[in-house]
Structure 1
Amino acid sequence: MGLRSRQRLVTSLSAFAVLALAAHGTAWRAPGGPPPQTPQTPRVGTPTSNPQVRPNGHAVAVDPSIIVVDDGDTVVIRWPGGDVETVRILGIDSPETRHVEHNIPFDQPFGLEARAFAQGAFATATTVELVRASMLDSYERTLGYLILNGKNYSTLIVKARLAEESVTHYGDNGLPQQAAEVLAAAKAAGPLPFEPPYVFRKRMRILSESQKAAPGEPHP
């Protein structure tokens, strides 16, 4: 896919996200075949023994205008009064976007598309609710599901084949209903067009370490 074609695809994903919100069960599906400035946050953190001090286990309303999308599976909520809450969205792991400070020097194929899908979905949502898990992750981030216009965002991006489900690996985090919805969406979506993000992260960290040891022109 050429650069201009990919740029058009990324741009159009906002519109597809709107359709996904407007029509239950209808979502953009990423093309099949092999894979060819927002707040910077750590990538994947596992649940810890650190308890969530904010309200959890039930839906909390969030003003859509205070949500900033980092990538396909992470958002930042800028609450009134200066409180900033980073939310690692549960149930999913989306392709990576470039985060040099976290040893990811390149965008993963479909990473920009996943972020564009998220940006479109959150920009057009008229109601947003956050259901927090009872524990934070290892980076002290909130773990939770985001409900857009009554629909589980994690299921929307999974149906679009722009994220893989992570429930099988991490469990339901005490939110079985939402986790079951993600598993059902993943089963319906079928094979994904990108390598597992955790594999990509591992490769990028090895590459970053080699670059630091022997500086030179990087190669993906």
Structure 2
Amino acid sequence: MRPRAAMPIVLASTSLCLGLGLAASPGGSPQEPPRVQGKVEQKPQARPHGAPVVVDPATVRIDDGDTVVIRWGEGDEETVRILGIDTPETRHEEHSIPYDQSFGPEGRAFAQGAFAVASDVKLIRAAMLDPYGRTLGYLILDGKNYSVLVIKAGLSDETVSFYGDNGLPAMAAEVKSAAKGRPPLAFEPPHAFRKRMRSVSDWQKSPHPNPAR
């Protein structure tokens, strides 16, 4: 997911600046967000937050393992960067991710399956948007924290330890507990992969001399 690009309910601006990248996401790493006096500009969440909001499962579109898009109505779509997790990236050339990361497609497939079988979906939003204007929140599927499910499946890094609980301590604690004692992840940390892919993308877009004949 983007920068899936990361990344909070009550997070300091500086924490958000460090790279909710997340985040990916739409997934991947979006364009550099606007800055105010050297800091990433964050905005408060205008939609209801802090309490569960019922979501029709049919309106959820999966971008990657940690980013979904909810269609509330005509012309009203909400991109949600799911809190507590950072799954392997999928290809998003528009966000300088020219290749899938190992286990990225598997992470997306896991999300697609989890949401496809869920009959009861709820969204709990954080109080602030991420630096790219996406909603930050947890998604609860049939009473289970999706972030916990993907952590237990070995398809996500845990990000609460770095970004804090975003003002949602109970769900953040579930994520940290799920990550304890698990085997090492089978993939490169997504934030490191995003950084490498940006360099690759920059090289691909730069002019190159014709090879010697």
Same-fold call, TM cutoff 0.5: yes
Q: Is residue 99 from structure 1 mapped to residue 92 from structure 2 by the alignment?
A: yes
Asked whether the equivalents of residues 29 and 96 of structure 2 are also in contact (C-alpha less than 8 Å), the reply is no
1:189 Cα deviation from its structure 2 partner: 2.5
Asked whether the equivalents of residues 48 and 136 of structure 1 are also in contact (C-alpha less than 8 Å), the reply is no
After superposition, give the CA deviation of every residue in 1:27-86 in whole Å (9 maximum; x if it has no partner): xxxxxxxxxxxxx82536899631001000011110000000000000000002431000
After superposition, give the CA deviation of every residue in 1:96-149 in whole Å (9 maximum; x if it has no partner): 000001110000000000000000000110000000000000110000000000
Moved more, 188-197 or 156-165: 188-197
2: CA distance between counterparts of 1:194 and 1:215?
Answer: 31
Tell me: CA distance 1:44–1:213, structure 2 relative to 1, closer, same or farther (3 Å): closer
Task: Give the secondary-structure state (helix, strand or coil) at the position aligned to 1:178.
Answer: helix
Structure 1-normalised TM-score?
Answer: 0.76
Higher helix share: 1
2: CA distance between counterparts of 1:102 and 1:174?
Answer: 29
Q: Is residue 41 from structure 1 mapped to residue 64 from structure 2 by the alignment?
A: no
2: CA distance between counterparts of 1:215 and 1:171?
Answer: 43
Which consecutive unaligned segments of at least 5 residues does structure 2 have?
A: 1-24, 34-39
Cα RMSD for the two superposed structures: 1.9
Tell me: CA distance 1:162–1:215, structure 2 relative to 1, closer, same or farther (3 Å): farther
Structure 2-normalised TM-score?
Answer: 0.79
How many residue pairs match? The answer is: 177
Q: Is residue 149 from structure 1 mapped to residue 142 from structure 2 by the alignment?
A: yes
Asked whether the equivalents of residues 27 and 63 of structure 2 are also in contact (C-alpha less than 8 Å), the reply is no
Asked whether the equivalents of residues 48 and 137 of structure 1 are also in contact (C-alpha less than 8 Å), the reply is no
Task: Give the secondary-structure state (helix, strand or coil) at the position aligned to 1:137.
Answer: coil
Amino acid of the structure 2 residue aligned with 1:182: V
Identical residues among aligned pairs (%): 62
In the other structure, the counterpart of 1:74 is 67
1:215 Cα deviation from its structure 2 partner: 5.1
Which consecutive unaligned segments of at least 5 residues does structure 1 have?
A: 1-39
In the other structure, the counterpart of 1:211 is 204
Moved over 4 A (4+): 44-48
Asked whether the equivalents of residues 76 and 84 of structure 1 are also in contact (C-alpha less than 8 Å), the reply is yes
1:190 Cα deviation from its structure 2 partner: 2.7
Tell me: CA distance 1:48–1:160, structure 2 relative to 1, closer, same or farther (3 Å): farther
